[in-house]
């Protein structure tokens, strides 16, 4: 993948005009209030014995999400650690789910608790029961319910992700004052959305190569990945659907969430990313409201970003902000 986006200086100054709907805040206030009105308890079952793990405790969690529907998650933490522990809430990339507990050992090895949130309809453990509402014009999830923000898939998924933060308060041994959000690609976009919707309830957010930002630019400049679902749809419906399509997506745009986020943020970007072009990442970063924000730049990286080099950067950044767990012997 050649370097085809703006240069570093242009990216640093790239701050496109906002496309925030006038009822954006009311839409999300109403959406979350409706979800919370369904109630429902958070349930956790200890399943460590099934995993063969000796240094990590694993709970199979269910918490109420959109419409009160149960959302699956894994809770992992160092065995024998004295709580309350800082907790890293992790959202998953496009077309993936929570997978197996053995895929998520990094944060518990570093002394944190980790809540790994399944993605409805993408993972195997949380179906998208509302899939029949609205319309879908292409494979994948980008055009599912694209006819209106009320019906769009990401309204349901982002609600689930906020409710995961709500669930932290009901899980024993977790420090609600030290909630960190993270994820890569779609997971990074979801982390941004939750940061914008939960305010000071979140201590830090770390979106890696975030998707779901600056949709129109993503559709027009990406060379691969889910933004191409929008391209395929609009190729056949361009005359009548361009404006309403991006009007719907504005309710789920990371740029609009970023300007409402107050937690310290550590972004990352690959300058040769064909899936999430760097300008879409910088659009969110440059509009991010908190003064404490920084960008880890991987100059020759594609959508994989910094790969194994990125977690040590995140650990150091959290440590600098007093969000490291206490030493555990």
Q: Which residue has the tokens 């879908």?
A: 136
Q: For residue 273, indicate whether it is catalytic.
A: yes
Single out the residue of 180, 179, 173, 207 nearest to residue 193, CA to CA: 207
Structure token digits, residue 320? 């600098």
pTM: 0.96
Helices marked H in 115-226: 153-168, 186-198, 215-221
What pLDDT, on a 0 to 100 scale, did the predictor assign at position 130?
74
Q: Which residue has the tokens 């690959």?
A: 270
Single out the residue of 61, 73, 72, 67 nearest to residue 33, CA to CA: 67
For all residues of the chain together, what is the average pLDDT? 94
Can you give the residue ranges of every domain in the chain? 8-318
B/e letters for 172-192, b = 16+ CB within 10 Å, e = fewer, are eebbeebbbbbbbbbbbbbbb
What pLDDT, on a 0 to 100 scale, did the predictor assign at position 140?
87
Round to whole Å and give the CA distance between 325 and 43. Answer: 25
1 has a pLDDT exceeding 70: no
- At 67-83, the pLDDT tens digits run 999 999 999 999 999 87
Structure token digits, residue 300? 């020759």
Confidence of residue 131 (pLDDT cuts 50, 70, 90): low
Round to whole Å and give the CA distance between 36 and 67. Answer: 8
- At 14-63, the pLDDT tens digits run 999 998 999 999 999 999 999 999 999 999 999 999 999 999 999 999 99
Secondary structure class of 38 (helix, strand, coil): coil
What pLDDT, on a 0 to 100 scale, did the predictor assign at position 129?
83
Q: Which positions ≥6 away from 28 have C-beta within 8 Å?
A: 197, 251
- At 261-276, the pLDDT tens digits run 999 999 999 999 999 9
Between 274 and 8, the more confident residue is 274
DSSP element (H, E) containing 298: strand 293-298
Between 8 and 225, the more confident residue is 225
308 has a pLDDT exceeding 70: yes
Is the distance from CB of 105 to CB of 111 less than 8 angstroms? no
329 has a pLDDT exceeding 50: no
The phi and psi torsions of 196 (rounded to 5 degrees) equal -75, -20
328 has a pLDDT exceeding 60: no
Task: Catalytic residue, from 5, 160, 208, 273: name it.
Answer: 273
What pLDDT, on a 0 to 100 scale, did the predictor assign at position 238?
66
- At 178-229, the pLDDT tens digits run 999 999 999 999 999 999 999 999 999 999 999 999 999 999 999 999 999 9
Secondary structure class of 301 (helix, strand, coil): coil
DSSP element (H, E) containing 35: helix 24-37
Task: Catalytic residue, from 108, 185, 222, 268: name it.
Answer: 185
Q: How many helices (H) and strands (E) does the chain have?
A: 11, 9
- 60 sits in the region (left: phi over 0; alpha: psi -120 to 50; else beta) called beta
Domain covering 8-318 in this structure, CATH number: 3.40.50.1820
- At 232-264, the pLDDT tens digits run 999 887 678 899 999 999 999 999 999 999 999
């Amino acid at each position: 993948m050649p370097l085809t986006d703006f240069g570093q200086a242009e990216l640093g100054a790239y701050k496109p005009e906002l496309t925030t709907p006038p009822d954006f805040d009311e839409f999300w206030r109403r959406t979350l209030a409706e979800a919370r009105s369904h109630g429902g308890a958070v349930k956790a079952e200890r399943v460590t014995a099934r995993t063969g793990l000796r240094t990590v405790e694993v709970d199979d969690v269910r918490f109420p999400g959109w419409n009160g529907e149960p959302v699956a998650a894994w809770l992992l933490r160092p065995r024998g650690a004295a709580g309350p522990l800082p907790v890293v809430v992790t959202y998953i990339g496009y077309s993936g789910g929570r997978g197996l507990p053995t895929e998520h050992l990094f944060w518990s090895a570093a002394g944190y608790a980790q809540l790994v949130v399944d993605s409805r309809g993408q993972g195997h453990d949380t179906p998208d029961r509302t899939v029949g509402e609205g319309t879908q014009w292409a494979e994948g999830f980008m055009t599912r319910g694209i006819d209106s923000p009320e019906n769009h898939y990401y309204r349901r998924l982002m609600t689930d992700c906020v409710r995961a933060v709500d669930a932290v308060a009901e899980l024993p041994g977790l420090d609600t004052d030290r909630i960190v959000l993270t994820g890569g690609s779609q997971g990074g976009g979801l982390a941004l959305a939750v940061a914008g919707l939960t305010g000071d309830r979140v201590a830090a957010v770390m979106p890696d190569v975030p998707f779901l930002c600056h949709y129109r630019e993503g559709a027009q400049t990406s060379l691969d990945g889910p933004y191409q679902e929008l391209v395929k749809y609009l190729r056949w419906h361009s005359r009548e659907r361009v404006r309403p399509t991006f009007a719907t997506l504005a309710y789920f745009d990371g740029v609009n969430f970023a300007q409402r986020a107050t937690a310290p943020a550590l972004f990352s970007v690959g300058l040769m990313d064909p899936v999430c072009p760097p300008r879409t990442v910088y659009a969110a970063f440059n509009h991010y409201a908190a003064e404490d924000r920084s960008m880890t730049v991987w100059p020759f990286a594609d959508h994989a970003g910094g790969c194994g080099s990125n977690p040590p950067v995140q650990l150091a950044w959290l440590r600098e902000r007093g969000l490291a767990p206490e030493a555990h012997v």
